[in-house]
Structure 1
Amino acid sequence: MPHAASRIWALFQDYDRWTDYAPMVIRVDVLWPGDERQNGRLRRVIYKMPGGRRGSALELVHDVEESPEGYGYTYTMISSDPGNDQTGKVRLEPLGPDRTRFSFEERYNLTKAPWKWFEGPIYKFINKNNEDSMRRASQWLSAHPEYRADLTPTPPPVL
C-alpha cells in the first residue's frame, strides 16, 4: 500500500470509518475496550449479507503488536457453538516512509449443514469483499491526505 504503516493502522483502529471503505460493514460496536493497546477488545461487527440479510460477528482482538517492525493483531470470531470459532490476522509491515506490506488472513471451519455445503462459495465471497475493502482503504487514504497527516513522514528536502 502506498501509505505509512502508522497511518493505515490508525484508520484500521478508527471503527467509525470502517463503513467509508468496507462496503459490507454496517457498523462496529466496541463492547469492551481492552487494554491501552486494545488487547482484549471485544467488538461486534454488523455486516451485509447476500439477499439483503444482515449478519454479525463477535470478535475478540488479541496479540496486538505496535513496533517499528510493524503493526498487527489477531482476532477470534466467537461462535455460539464451542469449537467453531474462526480466526483472522492483520499485519502491516513498513517497507519505506510511504510503503507498507499488508497481509490479511481469515480461517474458517464451517462444520454445520447447510453452511459446510457452500463453504467454497462462502469463502470466495468473503475473501473478495475483504480484498476490495483493503483496496478501498488505500484509495480512501489517498483521497483524504488530511486524515492523520501527523503520521505521514515528512519528505526529505529537495536540494
Structure 2
Amino acid sequence: MRFEHAVTIQASAERVWAVFSDVERWPEWTPTVESVERLDEGPLRPGSRTRIRQPKLPVAVWEVTRLEEGQYFEWTSTAPGIRTTGGHRVTSTPEGTVATATIVQEGPLGWLFGKLYAGLTRRYIATETEKLKELAER
C-alpha cells in the first residue's frame, strides 16, 4: 500500500532540505513525532539508524537505505510481516520547492496494516508536509 503527500513551499530547496533532513528536530515542529533518537552519529547516510516514537503507532527503528544529498532520503522500518519505507523528496520548481513524503507498506501484513492505519497515515504525512511548509517559510 502506498501513501503520498506533496506541498509547494515558498523557500529555497536548500532551506527545505535542511529542515526535512534534520530528523532529530522533527518533534519540535510536527505533532506527529513525539521523540527521535539517532542510534549513530554524524549526518544521515545509508546505514544510519533512528528510533522514532509517534502517537498511536509502535516505536520504530528506521534505517536509511538511500540518500541523494539535498534531494532525497529513504529509510525503512521492519516488523514481523511488514516492511515500511518512508521517502522524503525535495524538488525545485518554478512555482517553489515541492516537498513530497511517501509511505509504502509491503509484506504479508503490509496490506492489512496499510488498510487499518490508512486514515492515520494520510493525516500524518499531510501534517508533516504542511508543518514543514510553515517552518521553512518562516
TM-score calculated relative to the size of structure 2: 0.79
Displaced runs of 4+ in structure 1, greater than 6 A? Answer: none
Compare the two structures and name the one with the higher strand fraction.
2
How many Å separate the matches in 2 of 1:133 and 1:127?
10
- Where 1:73 maps in the other structure, the secondary structure is strand
Q: Percent identity?
A: 22
How many Å separate the matches in 1 of 2:18 and 2:132?
11
Deviations 1:8-59 (A, max 9, x none): 111122234212322021111000247x55221100111111xxxx621110
Do the aligned residues in 1 keep the contact of 2:75 with 2:85 (CA within 8 Å)? yes
Larger RCO, structures 1/2 (Cα 8 Å, 6+ apart): 2
TM-score calculated relative to the size of structure 1: 0.70
Across the aligned residues of Structure 1 and Structure 2, the Cα RMSD in angstroms comes to 2.4
Distance 1:11 1:125, change over 3 A: same
Which residue among 35, 60, 65 is the counterpart of 1:62? Answer: 65
Aligned to 1:7: 15
Equivalences, count: 129
Do the aligned residues in 2 keep the contact of 1:60 with 1:78 (CA within 8 Å)? no
Alignment of 1:138-153 (within 5 A): 138-143=133-138
Do the aligned residues in 2 keep the contact of 1:33 with 1:40 (CA within 8 Å)? no
Give the CA deviation at 1:110: 6.6
Aligned to 2:53: 46
Unmatched runs of 5 consecutive residues or more in structure 1: 144-159
